[in-house]
Amino acid sequence: MLFKVYLTWVLATLSHANNHFYKGHELIRVLPKTNEHLRLIHHFEDNYGVDRWSEVLQVNRDIKMSLPRKQLPKIRKLCKQYGIDMKILNNNLEKLIQSSDDISKQHKTRTRRAIKHFTPPHLVDYLRYDQIVQFLNQQHRRSPTYRNFTSLFSIGTTHENRSIWTIRIGKPTARRNILMDCGIHAREFISPSTCLYMIDKLIEEVNNGRPSLLSVFNIYIIPLLNPDGYEYAQTERRMWRKNRSPNGIHYRSNCMGVDLNRNFGYHWMENGASMNPCSETYAGPHQDSEPETRSLQRFINQSPRSWDAYLTFHSYGQYWIYPWGFALHMPDDYRELNNKAVIGSEALKRVNGTLYKIGSAANLLYESAGGSDDWAKGVGQIKYVYTVELRPSDDMNDAHAHFAFMLPTTFIEPVGQETYAGVKEFLRSLIIPRKSKLLVKNQKTM
């Protein structure tokens, strides 16, 4: 036991040792006013090592981007030349990451003290890959009364040979199927922690004899689809987004990694993706080139089951969005998708008052092709498909917006609670179809 505690501490300490890289990084805010400005921002992303943090890429909307300090003079010059309003928000990203880590550490100490020693680790830390595997095994062993209530299996392996673990939770007699994944993007730590939260709560309901939803649905949860990228973000580069594929074979590039959410083969590369291996939105050498992408597709296609819904959890921005991402037009059944998103996000809001916006990905954020959501609907033929962008909000006036991808661990529980409530209500609405009046096209709710 002592050894385990020590190991957890060592892992947590190591995971905070990666901030120095960001010492020479700046966080800036730009305000595009024309389409030409938007094109220029794409150009920054593709050629100057600029990493766009903001989800929304639209005229008259603030955009946050981080960049190595040495690129700042060039970016400043181009902004001036084209009349883009630019402001430095933070000139030491290392400090920003550190301040989030400090809050997380205090939170852990305080929680431990308050409840005398044992706190479930997944509520006070962003667990490392090995800890997540351990967590899944513990959860799998946790429901003795209902054997076969859970199963744990891998849907494939990554470049670095890590298994992509998946847990099924549901009564063996349940006939309908739901798929959820987390952690497609490495740096979005609040996403895997939210999947773990939901796994824990679903199994708790089983053990308490209240598994009503699980009599109807088998819920398959992949808590970490991109374990290589996640481990890299935990230990080396906190802001890493992609997987860890070596790109040298195709392009002799030293830059590693493919953006998995640009790699799915449905209208691939048509919009908002890059062919530059050094870009954060590199779509891969060809569509479906990545083991993580193919594992998910194989699992969706080959399972002898049909899927009612696919939900993929990202951060940040507080958006509950549906296809399409590749283009601005809507799927034929977008009203139904919108209605169910309203039901989910309203239940979510009831927990802590957190507001989500709803709409199609391309309309609400920006056009970008190759997302897992578009593939799940367009090729996987799943009706209810959503990307849920968790906290914080990207509204500059929101008190927590500055945390961006670095949400301290104090948020694990509130985000878990509200998301779980939203997902459950959404699932209930699939069982009991309700007539809703909220049928507004591309509606931005609340």
Give the H/E segment covering residue 343.
helix 334-352
Q: Tell me: does residue 25 bind ligand 0X9 (CB under 6 A).
A: no
Q: In the structure encoding, which two tokens stand for residue 364, read together?
A: 């609400």
Query: What's the min distance (Å) between Cβ of 283 and ligand 0X9?
Result: 11
Please give the size of the binding site for ligand 0X9, defined by CB under 6 A: 15
Residues present in the chain in total: 446
Residue with tokens 């195709």: 250
Cβ–Cβ under 8 Å, residues 343 and 429? yes
DSSP-derived letter for residue 274 is B
Give the three-class secondary structure for 189: coil
Q: What is the DSSP letter of 403?
A: G
Q: How far is the CB of 314 from ligand 0X9 (least distance, A)?
A: 3
User: How far apart, in whole angstroms, are the C-alpha atoms of residue 423 and residue 202?
Assistant: 11
Amino acid code (one letter) for 279: S
Sole binder of ligand 0X9 in the list 314, 340, 357, 424 (CB under 6 A): 314
340 binds ligand 0X9 (CB under 6 A): no
* Cα 264 from Cα 261, distance rounded (Å): 7
Please report whether residue 416 would count as binding ligand 0X9 according to CB under 6 A.
no
Using the minimum distance from each CB to ligand 0X9, give the nearer residue, 207 or 289: 289
Q: How many Å is the Cα radius of gyration of the chain?
A: 21
Q: Does 314 bind Zn ion (CB under 5 A)?
A: yes
Instruction: Catalytic residue, from 26, 231, 389, 418: name it.
Output: 389
- CB nearer to Zn ion: pick between 72 and 404: 404
Q: Which of 18, 19, 245, 368 binds ligand 0X9 (CB under 6 A)?
A: 368
**Is residue 185 a contact point for Zn ion (CB under 5 A)?**
yes
Site for ligand 0X9 in 221-280 (CB under 6 A): 261
Decide whether 325 or 344 has the Cβ nearer to ligand 0X9. 325
Which listed residue (108, 185, 242, 377) binds ligand 0X9 by CB under 6 A?
A: 185
Report if residue 361 touches ligand 0X9, rule: CB under 6 A.
yes
Residue sitting closest to ligand 0X9 (CB)? 325
State both tokens at 212: 């009503």
Whichever of 96 and 213 has its CB closer to ligand 0X9, that residue is 96
**Residues in Cβ contact with 88 at an 8 Å cutoff, skipping those fewer than 6 apart:** 26, 27, 28, 29
3-state secondary structure of 146: coil
Our CA angle for 48, 264, 40, nearest 5°, is: 25
In the region spanning residues 108 to 167, those forming contacts with ligand 0X9, defined by CB under 6 A, are none
Q: How far is the CB of 209 from ligand 0X9 (least distance, A)?
A: 37
Residue type, 433: P
Peptide bond connecting 324 to the previous residue in cis, omega within 30 degrees of 0: yes
Q: Does 409 bind ligand 0X9 (CB under 6 A)?
A: no
Angstrom distance (rounded) from CA 102 to CA 108 = 10
Q: Is 389 a catalytic residue?
A: yes
Residues that bind ligand 0X9 (CB under 6 A): 55, 185, 188, 261, 314, 321, 325, 361, 365, 368, 371, 373-374, 387, 389
- Catalytic residue numbers read 389
